[in-house]
Amino acid sequence: MYDWLQRHTSYVTHHISALLLLLLLTSLSGCLSSKEYLLTSQTIRGNRTISSENLESLIPQKPNRRILGLPITPPLWFYQLGLRRYNREAALRDLQDKTNEFEQQSQQLANDPQALKRLNRRYARQLKRLRLKAEEGNWLMRSLGEPPSYFAEADVKANVVKMQKYLSDKGFFNAKTSYTLDTLRRRQIRVNYLIKENEGFYLRNITYQIADPQVDSIVRQSFDKSQLHVGDRFDFDNMAGERLRIESLLRDQGYYSFSRQYVRATDVDTIRRGNDRRFYQGLEPGDSTRRNVDVAIQIVNPPGLSAHPIYHIGEVEMQINSGTDTPDGTSPFVATADRDTVSRNGITYLLGGRDISLRLLNSKILFRPNQLYSQSNYRDTQRQLFLLNQFKFVNINFIDTTNRRLHTLITATPLDKYEATAEGGVTGLLYQGQGYPGGFGSLVFRVRNMFGGLETFETSVRYGLEAQTGFVPDPAKPDQAVYTSQELGISSSLIFPQILFPGRIRFRFNRSAPRTQISLSFNNTFRPDFQRSLLRATMAYNWQTTASKQFSFLIADINLINAGDGTNSTITRAFREQLETLTQQGSTVYLNFFRRSLSSSFSFAYTYNTNIPGQNRRASFLRTVLESGGTTLNFVSNKKVDEWSQENGGIGLQLYKFLRSNVDYRYYIPIRNKTALAFRVNTGIAYGYGPGGAVPYEKFFFAGGSNSVRAWLPRRLGPGAAFPYQAGNPNQPNMNTETGQFIYLFEQPGNVLIEGSAELRGRLFHLGADVNGAIFVDAGNVWTLSNNSNRPGSAFQFGTFIPQIAVGTGVGLRFDFSFFVIRFDGGIKVWDPARRYPDPNGPDGITDKRFILPEFSLSRLSKGANPLVINFGIGYPF
């Protein structure tokens, strides 16, 4: 340990000395910056086929960030402001002084390894902070600022060469690249990259020359999956993809040592029709004649061998470590007699005294003695063992023994059997310009390998105390529209790492990380206007065919709902009267609040997701859900179902028959590093075909809120063009006469949902976490399927739904702490379809203020007719 600390101290001292010298040279060269030009912008012109985005990715130099393309660069201003108060020499001295202090104290503690370890940990934090200051400047320069981006013509010339090579790799062998410079005011330069692609070259003949006859047979049988096709434009990326495909193909056929280095494009022959000499001499600038290229792919043998070696799997062992570290920080495996050495299906297991189902482990391990080596088996085995959520680490190693047989050793370090976590948070509601705080807390207890079958048992308890808008105002306090809502819930689930289904069909999912999840939960909500409890039992099959494709089959979802009076009898009575009025108007919402009900359904969901956090590339997300509720009730008539649902003479439970579908699509386009455009389209329909066409309240769609149209309060938008009306007078909007704001008391459920969002996201600065900004536009609404004469415009109709789509816009701040994101979005209304309503004082008895954006005023952020709506959320909206 002492030797290690000595080496570490010497390592730190050596690299800090090198850093001091580097920073000193940088500081001496900094005085030349006043004579340099700032790189203001870069443009790419002339390209027709190759996208500007791909060419821009070849340019490492980026201009300083500006606002809306204007010459306004706040990050640069912050950097220059911080630079005025920054003394690099003083920062270097502080770093050197702290390093000397650390060396002196570490020498005094040389004989006390534990104290030396604590000293090293304490000084590591201090030295890191001082080193950061010496390298990147003070806090203002690092967190809010951005160093000036200076123009260097050598960089521009290098970029032109890279673009020339890139175009050639894409099949434009005769492409020309150049640049021009525009000198702007205040020593600023704009660089214009000029692209002339000329004609591309297309694959005419593709030939393969393979020295190994067996490899030749395998490759030729897979030509239908080749990355190269006659008639396609030559593309070096496709050539590289073909090499990778052949490598993966052969490695799945036992060629363990095969590498793409054996695959070579030995001859790329360009053949043109026309006069080559005149083209090269510039006498012909080019013509529209198709230009062809012949490609020869050669697969050579290893040096000194007449064929590529084929490998088989030898002995297969799985060793499960104890999970406890030794003093030197490792977790070695010691093979002893008490470690339960067991063999099954050719695999030797050393379980370390753990009770684990070997049948399940066998289904996850795809290697067997004497079979051909397969890279896919290696990849799938490692992935499936990791997705069991039972092991911290899983390593698979191969040892080439004799006769090209691979001894396979799988080592795994288990996670803790018992685990408990606690979470808490703060919530808030901004209504009519006033904030109402709230909070929640949860406790999760988890048990792994509960019954020895690699199961995971999880139970959680959650309590929340939140402010929510009420459905009716308190008759004793008409101005009070916000209530305190309490929620107490407990849920338990048991996850099996297999499909629990009789027969051999369940084994077809072995490579797809199958899971069966059985859950039981109880949730109780206490409000002044109503109380509602939900007992839910579910059973679901989940599997994942690839990293981006997931499937879920919910074979049973049973919900028993018990609803009744709230904690305040006066408010409850007013709420009942309001629901009775809605019932007379044809609404079925009453059934969800003061009737016991039972709904059962099954559903199928497909998710496709290529969006990986941290990767700056185009990505998409698609989730589709199809659900059928009360399907077994189709064996009896609706009349019989209605009889069963009666409170007097029936079973007293409201029964439902419904169909529901939902499609959610998102697309992400990176613009530059840490800046992206995100789009979303979310649609759905819920159709009840039982008595009265009722749908369970949880199956309705809602619009408005932090993950929907953010200029409206949660679940308060719609339906359609219907406006919130006064109690007892559906022809007059419920409006605050002082501010002109609509008063939304009720949640607005709908059977049809259409909504979309576009959002520009980008990093602003670093302040303990990455602070990101956003500009967004949301549009959408919900509609009913049946007409209601008391609420015209609420039903979906193809001829009228477009002007009934609400539009909102706004800005947001996101605090990204890596492991979670806190989000604040402020939205204002642009187009409110409910703002066309009867008004005796309006022209023709109608007031039409649907274009409500002009009503927004900075001087009346929360008091005007178009207030700023603040939404708080965890994570990104989509």
Integer Cα distance of 294 and 220 in angstroms: 18
**Is residue 490 over pLDDT 80?**
yes
User: Mean per-residue pLDDT for 420-446?
Assistant: 80
Contact 757, 808 (CB under 8 A): no
Asked whether residue 233 carries a pLDDT value surpassing 90, the answer given is yes
> Look-up: residue for tokens 């579908």?
661
Pair 554, 518: CB distance under 8 Å: no
Q: Are 675 and 762 in contact (CB under 8 A)?
A: yes
Q: What is the DSSP letter of 324?
A: P
H or E element at residue 661: strand 658-672
Q: Which residue has the tokens 């994942």?
A: 544
Sign of the dihedral defined by the CA atoms of residues 799, 802, 803, 806, in that order = positive
- Between the CA of residue 624 and those of 499, 551, 660, what are the distances in Å? 22, 10, 11
Between 738 and 161, the higher pLDDT residue: 161
- Check pLDDT > 60 for residue 4: no
- 62 contacts 147 by C-beta, under 8 angstroms: no
585-599 pLDDT, tens digit each: 666 667 677 778 888
pLDDT of residue 585: 62
Is the pLDDT assigned to residue 516 strictly greater than 90? yes
Looking at the chain, the number of H-run helices and the number of E-run strands are: 14, 32
CB 404 within 8 A of CB 372: no
**Confidence tier at 546 by pLDDT (50, 70, 90):** confident
pLDDT of res. 274: 39
| Preceding peptide of 792 cis, ω within 30° | no
Higher pLDDT, 421 or 644: 421
DSSP state of 497: S
Model confidence over 815-853: pLDDT tens digits? 888 777 889 999 999 999 999 888 777 787 788 889 999
Do you know the residue count of the chain? Answer: 878
- For residue 677, what is the enclosing H or E element? strand 675-688
Beta bridge partners of 372: 312
Q: Which of 88-97, 230-239, 244-253, 709-718 has the lowest mean pLDDT?
A: 88-97
pTM: 0.78
Instruction: Supply φ then ψ for residue 850, to 5 degrees.
Output: -65, -35
Token pair recorded at residue 691: 């008595």
Structure tokens at 742: 């609509």
